[in-house]
Amino acid sequence: MVDPFGREITYLRVSVTDRCDLRCVYCMSEHAQFLPRKDLLSLEELDRLCSAFIERGVKRLRLTGGEPLVRKNLMSLIRSLSRHLQSGALQELTLTTNGTQLAQYASELAACGIKRLNVSLDTLDAGKFHMITRRGDFAKVMHGIETALKTGISIKLNTVALRNFNEGEIPHMIEWAHSMGMDMTLIETMPLGEVDEDRTEHYLPLTVLRRQLEQRHGFSLAESSHRTGGPARYYNVAHTGGRLGFITPMTHNFCESCNRVRISCTGTLYMCLGQDDAADLRAPLRSSESDEALHAAIGEAIARKPKGHDFVIDRWNNQPAVMRTMSVTGG
């Protein structure tokens, strides 16, 4: 799959549910309304859809949510998709999770060939964690991370950098993550969906944060050639010996190298996280037992993948770039 700008699409992110057991303030409203279960693709349909993309050249597949591990019987889908790892058609099958369910599923994930997970974590302070997630149990997440590491699964922490919330503890979080053998990636908050918070109050440009890390905290950052297939740019941190990634959709548009598309749990294909254009794959998926119509719809959608997003956060444009929340698109 090659888009109009010559970018080969090899990375697929699939939301298996819009539901989550947390309510992070920058991600969704506290009183979020979730889709009726009948609107979601079945696990068998998700398998068929993912397999069609793998047939078309996708090499990395990430399952997301909401929180993917709250989807009932998700492990049956993961076990089925792992056949593509065994055949060599798929290079990596992984998940992004909030960690609340990891203690229960880590061993089975490892047995299915999951070698790496992204865990979203924005603070190491239990009180602040409960505040930003509105309900989360910090000890449960820590236990999940420790359990996953013991199985041999590598973990990368994803941390949204938030002014007036966690910017002061990010140096400590980096040192802690690296001491545990985990990479860490910092992410700028993005204007996706209506939430209960004013994003301008918490938006922290990573250009500013990197300068603080280097000048105020003495971090020496050397650019790394390490890549995971996503948008993060990695640096080696001299005094910790670990890697630190930066995902900068606001201060540095990385769209020129975009190699990914996203599918919602209803079968809607989003060619860009920051644009509204989408393609319905549920209808062709259900129209026939043959995948001919599905492949045609995928090809037509990739042919109109846009050059990039239009994210803006400032006090004059304090509106979401798109109305759907991150939990709908799957990150």
Residue numbers in the known binding site are 13, 20, 24, 26-27, 62, 66, 96, 120, 156, 190, 255, 258, 260-262, 272
Please give the Cα distance from 133 to 162 (Å, whole number).
Answer: 13
Please give the Cα distance from 199 to 134 (Å, whole number).
Answer: 17
Residue numbers in the known binding site for S-adenosyl-L-methionine are 26, 66, 120, 190
In the sheet that holds 154-161, the strands lie side by side as 221-223, 233-237, 243-247, 183-188, 154-161, 116-120, 92-97, 60-64, 11-15, 260-263, 268-270, 278-280
Q: How many helices (H) and strands (E) does the chain have?
A: 11, 12
Token pair 């409203």 is at which residue? 29
Within 10 Å of residue 42's Cβ, how many Cβ atoms? Answer: 10
Residue numbers in the known binding site for GTP are 13, 62, 96, 156, 260-262
CA dihedral of residues 229, 235, 238, 241 (deg, nearest 10): -10
Report the DSSP pairing between strands 92-97 and 116-120. parallel
Residue numbers in the known binding site for [4Fe-4S] cluster are 20, 24, 27, 255, 258, 272
Report the DSSP pairing between strands 183-188 and 154-161. parallel
Instruction: Tell which phi-psi region holds residue 232, choosing left (phi > 0), alpha (psi between -120 and 50) or beta.
Output: beta
Q: Do residues 229 and 236 lie in contact, with contact meaning Cβ atoms separated by under 8 Å?
A: no
Please give the Cα distance from 214 to 259 (Å, whole number).
Answer: 31
